[in-house]
Amino acid sequence: MATAQPKRSALIIIDVQNDFCPGGSLPVAEGDQVIPVINRVAGSVPLVVATQDWHPADHVSFASRHRGRSPFDTVERGGLVQVLWPDHCVQGSAGAELHPDLDQRPFDLVIHKGTDPEIDSYSAFFENDRRTSTGLEYYLRGLGCEELLLAGLATDYCVLYSALDAVRLGFRTTVLLDAVRGVGQPPGSLEGALREMRAAGVALRESRELHL
């Protein structure tokens, strides 16, 4: 019996959901403009994984759960600083669905994250407690994956944390600059995220630079 060939590289598509695109409850400026780039790249990569924020209605990250607090305030929960957001990506809602223009045919796996009502989850690999794994690392290693391309939303939150974790776990990691967009809150967060990723060893490239 022939042995399946390892899938050495993977595209990780992070949270390209209706609520994070124009018209959603937590829109990222130009968030939908990443979609044509992602669709083009996804057709040329051996392995494609997408993530979805998939929050219960009473999630700890929702400002509506904290009396007297507003979106983009911060609170401390369990020793972690929690940014408060508008209600978004509630399980089973239209806002939580992947954007309809995103071509899902190349997808090999979709991971739901942020499902625990008491812990937020930015990274595709771990919840924000830095201990609870999504299982993505083991899935990729089991398929022989060594190199990751990251795309999606948002550059200064879920893309940032996913990229830092990917490098820390030993994956060669590239963020596709034309396939990500940022929140920009608080001011300077986008520029800070790019600096932090670059310093950690994440490659920042345009998709046209890839040889796919």
Contact 14, 158 (CB under 8 A): yes
Question: Is residue 131 exposed (0-12), middle (13-18) or buried (19+ Cβ within 10 Å)?
Answer: exposed
Query: Beta strand pairing status for 74-77 and 80-83?
Result: antiparallel
Contact 209, 181 (CB under 8 A): no
The Cα 79–Cα 199 span in angstroms is: 26
What is the distance between the terminal CA atoms of the chain, rounded to a whole angstrom?
Answer: 29
Q: Torsion-angle region of residue 35: left (phi > 0), alpha (psi -120 to 50) or beta?
A: alpha
Non-local (6+) Cβ contacts of 183 within 8 A are 28, 154, 155, 156, 157, 189, 190
Contact 93, 52 (CB under 8 A): no
Strand ranges across the sheet with 47-53? 109-113, 47-53, 9-14, 147-153, 172-181, 203-205
- Active-site residues, by number, are 15, 113, 158
